A = this chain, B = another copy of it.
Amino acid sequence: MPEVPGQNAAPVTPSASPHRGVGVSDVTLRPIGFWGRRQSVNAEATLQHCLEWMERLGWIENFDRVARGETTTDRPGWQFSDSEIYKLLEAMAWELGRTADESLAATFDALVARVGAAQDADGYLNTAFGHPGLPPRYSDLAMGHELYNIGHLVQAGVARHRTGHDDQLVQIARRAADQLCEEFGATGREAVCGHPEIEVALVEAGRAFGERRYLEQARLFIERRGRGILPVRPLLSAEYFQDDIPVRDATVLRGHAVRALYLTAGALDVALETGDQALFDAVTGQWERTVARRTYLTGGMGSRHQDEGFGDDFELPADRAYCETCAGVGSIMLAWRLYLATGDVRYPDLIERTLFNVVATSPSADGRSFFYANPLHQREAGAAASDGVNNRAEGGVRAPWFDVSCCPTNVARTLASLGSYLASTDDEGMTLLQYAAGEIRAGGFVLEVETSYPDAGTVRVRVLDAPHAEARLRLRIPGWADAATVRVNGEHPSTVAPGWADIRRSFRSGDELTLELPVAPRLTWPDPRIDAVRDTVAVERGPLVLCLESTDLPDGVGIDDIQLRSDAVLTAHRDGALAQGEIIAVPASTGSLPYRADRSHSSDPRPVALSLVPYHRWAERGPATMRIFLPVTG
């Protein structure tokens, strides 16, 4: 059964999951709140910023060249640049689902028309392969990204359909999907794409358009993978492509982090739609081990610059943490599907952590520059970003655009569809998953949420309308909240443990719930098996990971000369914290190795007041050194 266009304006709609995300049009965020502000900046600045860059670099004109029959090998952009246009179209589609901006609608239509003009008669669509002067179709499945590109096109088409339109983008996406099902179906090429993405897109297309064969094609791609099907080339291993172990046999995420996360989200979608319990269990097991052993305090994933990959268990260096912004988006994609299927609170807990400390970290306040990598320790202050195209993973400063520029559009589509992740409905009522100021209309409820979270821990939920019968309103109590309370109207507040706080009653308009979350700064200690941060400690405040920036240190004191006192009294300060530390001075040595027979190297420590700020806005006051985990003393 195809979905009715506009009925289900959410990014993920598993047919069998007990929980459903709310539609993007069912949430109105206050532009002054933490997330409302970012969503507004995304709409007002980032979408246009991405469009302008891709126009300037010729990535959009690549489509015109195909349409004009003027393709050449000196085409600008990587072989995956088409996907950036598609991710921008997806972001615009969600944004148009929230608002009805005529100017944006016109921009969207014009861009769709240019994409559509490049589509071949049989549905094939690509600007880097398959046309005169370019390599043939599917001639480099390992690195050509042809199916990856179409995956993002299909996700854009699904977003358009779900937000109420059955127009040109939807038709382009479906024709492209049909073509590849023909090409790669059970009787076609027995191949997969080097970069997963088509799998998750095809399941979503199957749901949106009621086409079983899309789901079947996704299932085929999942089953084929992990059997050494992709040609290995020097310096790229099968693990990089997750082609080393069949998906259902793997026990942990590995290889290129974004590839691994997209693939696993697709595998979970296939498991859910086909009722494949073994595959579902494999994915949940992979998620659990990955979170317990290969995930950063920020929620970031990917420990290695080399291959942009996961590391071994507990290989979690702070300084060389890659934590690609796109891996954060991929982690949310996976955790969201797991939540909808299970209702387990661990998933929205990780989503919150990742939203506040990865997704919110990437864009600058003006929405026109971005972090690609998100290290937890910056040893040398970056140079100012170039106004031009920047190297993706270097610098320690947000940059307007990258040679590989996957992150800006990924942030854009996530922020445009953010409303969907804030709440869910099920047969018993509605669940508030994330706390942001605004109005939410779902499950028969209309709720007004008033909060300055995460700066403060008070969340007021006013019922503006409610179902007629008794219903359950469920609030998520984050894992770090050890003394939260909930008060219903004038009643005495109840202490609630991390997990879920359920209020079951006949709600009436005017009812008010008050949730108090303890957002005082707190110390967080790493597992001793994480060698890279042994005997250090981090400071968190509510969902925010804090950091120490060189900007806040006395002149001449380096970020790596600081220790935090283990008996430090932490106090809230603006949206960060104050604490007591020490400046240690390690004697300089030249020409002798930094290893000695004597354990103690540091001379008299000097006390210093430390001001810690939210990690998500580090480097906003100019290039700086920074660290999250501080060595501990006392």
Chain B hits for A532, CB < 8 A: 317, 531-532
Let me know if A287 is at the binding interface, CB within 8 A.
Answer: yes
A594 touches B379 (CB 8 A): no
Chain B hits for A599, CB < 8 A: 523, 525, 537, 566
Chain A residues 311-330 with CB under 8 Å of chain B are: 311-320
Chain B hits for A362, CB < 8 A: none
Let me know if A72 is at the binding interface, CB within 8 A.
Answer: no
B591 touches A287 (CB 8 A): yes
**Residue in A306, A314, A594 with the greatest tally of chain B CB atoms within 10 Å:** A594
| Least Cβ–Cβ distance between A97 and chain B, in angstroms | 33
* Binary interface encoding of chain A residues 510-531 relative to chain B, with 1 for a CB under 8 A from any of its CBs, else 0: 0000000000001111111111
Q: Given A320-B315, A532-B532, A590-B289, is A596 in contact with B235 using a C-beta cutoff of 8 Å?
A: no
**Number of chain copies forming the complex:** 2
| Least Cβ–Cβ distance between A243 and chain B, in angstroms | 14
* Binary interface encoding of chain A residues 265-291 relative to chain B, with 1 for a CB under 8 A from any of its CBs, else 0: 000000000000000000000011101
B291 touches A527 (CB 8 A): no
Chain B hits for A318, CB < 8 A: 531
When the two chains form the complex, which single residue of B288, B353, B523, B592 contacts A292, counting CB atoms closer than 8 Å? B592
Let me know if A391 is at the binding interface, CB within 8 A.
Answer: yes
When the two chains form the complex, which single residue of B288, B311, B533, B598 contacts A531, counting CB atoms closer than 8 Å? B533
Q: Given A315-B319, A535-B534, is A295 in contact with B593 using a C-beta cutoff of 8 Å?
A: yes
Let me know if A394 is at the binding interface, CB within 8 A.
Answer: yes
| Least Cβ–Cβ distance between A287 and chain B, in angstroms | 7
Q: Given A589-B292, A591-B288, is A597 in contact with B524 using a C-beta cutoff of 8 Å?
A: yes
Chain B hits for A394, CB < 8 A: 237
When the two chains form the complex, which single residue of B404, B560, B596 contacts A529, counting CB atoms closer than 8 Å? B560
When the two chains form the complex, which single residue of B235, B288, B297, B592 contacts A479, counting CB atoms closer than 8 Å? B592
Chain A residues 580-597 with CB under 8 Å of chain B are: 584, 586, 588-597
A380 touches B312 (CB 8 A): yes
Cα-based distance from A350 to B560 in the complex (angstroms):
27
B592 touches A538 (CB 8 A): no
Cα-based distance from A525 to B522 in the complex (angstroms):
31
Let me know if A55 is at the binding interface, CB within 8 A.
Answer: no
When the two chains form the complex, which single residue of B235, B289, B404 contacts A234, counting CB atoms closer than 8 Å? B404
B306 touches A586 (CB 8 A): no
Cα-based distance from A78 to B597 in the complex (angstroms):
45
Chain A residues 521-558 with CB under 8 Å of chain B are: 522-538
B237 touches A534 (CB 8 A): no
Let me know if A377 is at the binding interface, CB within 8 A.
Answer: yes
Interface of A is mostly: loop
Let me know if A601 is at the binding interface, CB within 8 A.
Answer: yes
Chain B hits for A78, CB < 8 A: 234
Chain B hits for A597, CB < 8 A: 480, 482, 522-525
B531 touches A594 (CB 8 A): no
When the two chains form the complex, which single residue of B291, B297, B380, B584 contacts A592, counting CB atoms closer than 8 Å? B291
Chain B hits for A566, CB < 8 A: 599
When the two chains form the complex, which single residue of B288, B391, B482, B537 contacts A237, counting CB atoms closer than 8 Å? B391
A313 touches B346 (CB 8 A): no
| Least Cβ–Cβ distance between A230 and chain B, in angstroms | 15
Cα-based distance from A319 to B313 in the complex (angstroms):
11
Let me know if A304 is at the binding interface, CB within 8 A.
Answer: yes
**Residue in A237, A319, A531, A534 with the greatest tally of chain B CB atoms within 10 Å:** A531
Chain B hits for A560, CB < 8 A: 314, 529, 531
A601 touches B313 (CB 8 A): no
Taking CB as reference atom, which chain B residue is nearest A482? B597
B535 touches A535 (CB 8 A): yes
Cα-based distance from A379 to B310 in the complex (angstroms):
13
Chain B hits for A380, CB < 8 A: 312-313
Chain B hits for A584, CB < 8 A: 528
Top-10 shortest CB links A-B: A527-B594, A305-B306, A288-B591, A312-B379, A234-B403, A288-B590, A306-B306, A525-B599, A535-B535, A292-B589
A237-B394, A292-B591, A527-B595 given; name 13 further pairs at CB < 8 Å: A305-B306, A314-B560, A315-B379, A317-B320, A346-B592, A350-B593, A479-B592, A523-B599, A527-B601, A530-B594, A531-B532, A531-B533, A534-B535
Could you jot down 29 A-B contacts, CB within 8 Å?
Answer: A235-B392, A291-B591, A292-B588, A292-B590, A292-B592, A293-B594, A295-B593, A295-B594, A304-B306, A304-B320, A305-B305, A306-B306, A311-B319, A311-B320, A313-B379, A315-B320, A315-B379, A377-B531, A479-B592, A522-B597, A524-B597, A525-B595, A525-B598, A527-B586, A528-B631, A529-B586, A531-B631, A534-B535, A538-B595
